[in-house]
Chains A and B, each alone.
Chain A
Amino acid sequence: KNEVEQSPQNLTAQEGEFITINCSYSVGISALHWLQQHPGGGIVSLFMLSSGKKKHGRLIATINIQEKHSSLHITASHPRDSAVYICAVRVGYGDKLIFGTGTRLQVFP
């Protein structure tokens, strides 16, 4: 069993829909990252959070430390949001990240 699990693995949506991607982890962490990987491979850091909730534009990330769970929400989804979304956790206070296998999102017009 992976230490970081994401669901769903694949997700399709119509433009304008509200999207939720989930991440569960089984280890103690000091921070959780949400990353976006576009076709062609480029990776962009979306959020780094250790508690509560963060919002950036149409993206919202939440984390529940007690439940070892985080969600990434996309409001009013758009075709340009199509990408792989990756959850990664920083274990303890070290510097290594453990990655989930990603959620492939396709948003159709």
Chain B
Amino acid sequence: GAGVSQSPSNKVTEKGKDVELRCDPISGHTALYWYRQRLGQGLEFLIYFQGNSAPDKSGLPSDRFSAERTGESVSTLTIQRTQQEDSAVYLCASSPPTLTSGRLYNEQFFGPGTRLTVL
């Protein structure tokens, strides 16, 4: 079946512009995560959506970052007034509902990422 997809795959923007990154999770996956990976560094958690619960935004680095998710489908990560330090690969992951697996938590399935370059 189809995996997690992200668009665009690459985005080059100028400092100060706003960007929107899109994530399409695997159908039926209730949990959706956004991560950031700066060059040469590990992944950093940004935000987590689980069903209709309030999202966990504790990883967002500043108020220039926001994310939305429509129900249990598409999510968009928006970065306003981009800065050069925002340059990174932004990864999305989704995981199935724990009720169907009987587990407390599930493995995450990652998308290919969006490489953002802020000039």
- Kindly specify which of A13-21, A60-68, A69-77, A90-98 makes contact with the partner chain: A90-98
Given A43, A45, A88, A101, which contacts B41 in the complex, CB threshold below 8 Å?
Answer: A101
Chain B binding surface, main DSSP class: strand
**What's the Cα separation between A11 and B48 when bound, in Å?**
33
Number of interface residues of B (CB under 8 A): 25
Is A42 interfacial (CB-CB < 8 Å)? Answer: yes
**What's the Cα separation between A102 and B108 when bound, in Å?**
17
| Closest Cβ–Cβ distance, residue B91 to chain A (whole Å) | 7
| CB-CB nearest in chain A for B98 | A95
| Closest Cβ–Cβ distance, residue B8 to chain A (whole Å) | 14
Chain A interface residue number, banded: 20 to 34
Binding site for A on B (CB under 8 A): 31, 33, 41-45, 48, 50, 56, 58-59, 89, 91, 93, 104-110, 112-113, 115
Binding site for B on A (CB under 8 A): 2, 30-31, 33, 35, 40-45, 48, 86, 88, 90, 93-102
